[in-house]
Every structure is written in structure tokens, then in C-alpha cells.
Amino acid sequence: MKLSIVLSTQQAQFNAVAFKGDLAANVAKIAHWGYDGVELAIRDPKLIDLDQIDAIVKKHGLVMPAIGTGQAWGEEGLSFPDPDPQIRDAAIERVKSHIPVAAHFDAVIIIGLLRGIVKPGVSQAQALAWVTEALQECSAAAAPHGVRLALEPINRYETSLINSVADGLDLIERVGADNFGLLLDTFHMNIEDASIEGSIRAAGDRIFHFHVADSNRWYPGAGHIDFRSLLDALFATGYNGYVSGEFMPLPDADTAAQEAIRYLRGLKQEE
Ligand code: LER
Ligand code: MN
């Protein structure tokens, strides 16, 4: 099992990110604890030094399997279904600006909260149409570069658009692009989906990336999700990507990261 963990390149409001701040020091710690990869949350590619990040990640023998984009929503309010066309365009352009970074690292571009919410005065159908058109445009721009996009079904308390894996699979049908798939997150599936294993089987080879947190969004092993069962289901689909830790920094970020890898590697040993 290839394990990675979410890191932010900028300070952000979203707190289910185990690490923020000094990238070099954090990447060094992550590698030392035995992780294989680091998933970076990047608000705006214009604000990062790609060469510097590349050097830091490679120095420690890590890879970057995925790029999180949700801070553009959290910090700047960009989203695909905003009633303001300029904001919709800016959201699309922001996703497109991640394509060179994703191509460089062979990373998946995550569409999490950037898909937005249904704003007052906008119908659910209109919002879904804007999201679909935006994803068609972004997927078409990414395809020639061999880059894939992964939409993350997110629980109802964070968005009113695409909550369950079934919603995500419906969107895949609407978008109709081979390089558009899903990011499954155990925390969200535990809230929205009748069966986590059933959803994993249904998504099959459209699972492009995978987030793990326990039921309480602490590190895996701190709640009541059956990780042995769901990881068996995940790998039975032929999934060959990263299992990426995205959980609260509790009781503190270092302890959470170390407990997560101890627990997940322990599961594998018992297989
Ligand atoms: C991001 O990957 C995520 O899971 C969301 O809950 C962010 O709010
Ligand atoms: Mn997630």
C-alpha cells in the first residue's frame, strides 16, 4: 500500500489538513515516518515555486500523487456554479492553471470544494449544468497533457452538490470524459453512503485517488470505520494509486501522522 498525507503550501482555514507551514521541514518528517508521498493543497499555482517544491519532494524520495485545489474556494470564494460568470470563469481558469503542475508531478487534480454549493437564486439543475460544463472544459484541457481530474463527493454539511459516490458516478456520466473520475474519502462516505465497500465496488476503475480519515475525522484507527474491509474492497478494484491521509491534526499533527501510518501498515502486515 502506497501511503501519502495531505500538506498545505499556504496557511488555510480548512483544518482537516495534518500539516501546514514549513514545507521542507514537514516533508522531511513525513518521509522519515515512512510515507511514500505527499499530497499538496495548492491555492494558486502562481503562488508556489515549482522548482523548490520539486527539489524538496524529490530530496526525500517522495512523490506527489495529487494536488488539492479547495483553498481557492475556502480563501477566495471561487467555484463552478457561482451566479457571477466572472467567478465561474476564474474557477475554470484556476483549475486549468494546475495542469502544468499536475503534468510535472504526474499528479491528479482534485476537484473538492471548488465545485461549489448551490447559491441562493440558483436552481439545483442550473448549478449542476454549470459544474458539468466546467468539468468538461477542464477535462478537455487536461487530456492532451495526460492529466486526470478527480471529483470528491463531499458530505451534505459542506456542500449541497454531489454528496454521495452515486452522485459522483452520475456526474461522470454527464461529463463523459475518460480522464474525469472520483476521489473517494472515507470520512464523507461514512456519512453519505449506505455501504462504503459497496460504493468502492460501484466506482471501480473510476477511483482516481483515495482519502482516509476515521469516522470522527481523526487518524485511521481512532474511530469505528472498518479499514481492513474497505481497503480489501479498494484493492480488489485494481486500484494502484495512493491511500492519502487527510485528518484532523489531533491530538497534534505529528502524533496523528505517526499513528495513521502505524495503524495502516499494521493492517497490511496482518493480511
Ligand atoms: C477535501 O479533500 C475534503 O475532504 C473536504 O472535506 C474539504 O472540506
Ligand atoms: Mn477529502
For 251, which DSSP code? S
Please answer whether residues 64 and 39 qualify as being in contact, where contact means their C-beta atoms are separated by less than 8 angstroms. Answer: yes
C-alpha cell belonging to residue 83: 451566479
pLDDT at 271: 47
What residue numbers bound the domain in which 208 lies? 2-270
Separation of 246 CA from ligand 2 center, angstroms?
6
pLDDT tens, position by position, for the chain (271 residues)?
999 999 865 555 544 444 555 888 899 999 999 999 999 989 999 988 889 899 999 999 999 999 999 989 988 999 999 999 999 999 999 999 999 999 999 999 999 999 999 999 999 999 999 999 999 999 999 999 999 999 999 999 999 999 999 999 999 999 999 999 999 999 999 999 999 999 999 999 999 999 999 999 999 999 999 999 999 999 999 999 999 999 999 999 999 999 999 999 999 655 4
Query: Which is the catalytic residue, given 39, 137, 192, 246?
Result: 246
List of residues 6+ apart from 46 with CB closer than 8 A: 97
pLDDT at 24: 87
Separation of 244 CA from ligand 2 center, angstroms?
9
Separation of 153 CA from ligand 2 center, angstroms?
8
pLDDT at 7: 85
Instruction: Provide the number of structural domains found in the chain.
Output: 1
Q: Name the amino acid, one letter, at 162.
A: I
192 lines ligand 1 (CB under 6 A): no
Q: Is 246 a catalytic residue?
A: yes
Closest ligand 1 atom, CA of 155? Answer: 6
Q: Is 152 a catalytic residue?
A: yes
CATH of residue 21 = 3.20.20.150
